[in-house]
Amino acid sequence: MKKGKKLYEGKAKIIYATNDKDLVIQYFKDDATAFNNQKKTTIEGKGVLNNRISEHILSNLGQIGIKNHLVKRLNMREQIIKLVEIIPIEFIVRNVASGSITKRLGIEDGTVLKEPLVEYCLKDDKLGDPLIAEEHIYAFDWATKKEIEKVKKMILRINDFMIGMFRGVGIKLIDFKLEFGRFKSNGKTEIILADEISPDTCRLWDSVTDKKLDKDRFRKDLGDLIPAYTEVAKRLGILHEQSNVSAVNVTKLSSIKKRK
């Protein structure tokens, strides 16, 4: 597989063309942004951990029949993925209230929701990814009703699976963000899960202590982001090192064999 030209650069990832028209390479950067790019820095090793964690979650989801863009991880920072046309909606799934919903609606942080709440945001950095109603999606043809019905069913299965997977390793899945895309192949179009699922795109709290193991460590200046992401990777069984992986040690991750 040959790596071609850069097709797109986002805040945390870069997409490169390949010599296969259906496939692209997704590169995980170390850049961290929050509050729509108002706050940014580089955290050495973050991209390596997100690449591994996202690979683990998406391949597990694939095994339970959730179609997604992951083909395979190539190396420390890159994976081969299917080229999709991204639906311009960020699907936010909340099990416990935290983050923007607490400020927007005055809900107390940590309030357990009766059932999962799905929110829609328009994926548009210039507008600050505004919250929208489902009706806006149809009014402006961002997706069809049929597509959204399919996405909603996938979201609930993904949420159930991820809650269980994290609960099994002592982590509460507070909320997360998903993106979906249209994959066109042999004249057919199907909706598949895309982007990444990692501590950058989820809120993950230790089940016992409520310690934050996600990007809130950066958003809230709590520090120790790499040890927190490493902890998530270790608990998921992706890393087998004894030591607390520091930013410098992350370079060693390349030599750690992938567990199947």
Site residues (vs ligand TMP, CB under 6 A): 90, 92, 99-100, 129, 175-177, 201-203
DSSP state of 44: T
**37 binding partner (options ligand TMP, ligand ASP, none; Cβ < 5 to 8 Å by kind):** ligand ASP
Pattern of binders to ligand ASP over 14-33, x per CB under 6 A?
Answer: -------------------x
Residue 91 or residue 183: which is nearer to ligand ASP going by CB? Answer: 91
Q: Smallest gap, in angstroms, from Cβ of residue 239 to ligand TMP? A: 22
Q: How far is CA 150 from the centre of its chain?
A: 19
215 touches 204 (CB < 8 A) = no
Q: Smallest gap, in angstroms, from Cβ of residue 219 to ligand ASP? A: 6
Q: Smallest gap, in angstroms, from Cβ of residue 52 to ligand TMP? A: 18
Q: How far is CA 170 from the centre of its chain?
A: 19
Q: How many CA atoms lie within 13 A of 75 on its CB side?
A: 6
Pattern of binders to ligand ASP over 204-223, x per CB under 6 A?
Answer: -----------x---x----
Q: Smallest gap, in angstroms, from Cβ of residue 199 to ligand ASP? A: 11
* Helix intervals (H) in 66-176: 100-105, 134-139, 145-167
Tokens representing 118? 């799905």
- Of the candidates 108, 81, 94, 256, the one whose C-alpha atom is nearest the C-alpha of residue 176 is 94
33-92 positions binding ligand ASP, by CB under 6 A: 33-37
Q: Dihedral of CA 235/238/241/247: which sign?
A: negative
Binding site for ligand ASP (CB under 6 A): 11, 33-37, 215, 219
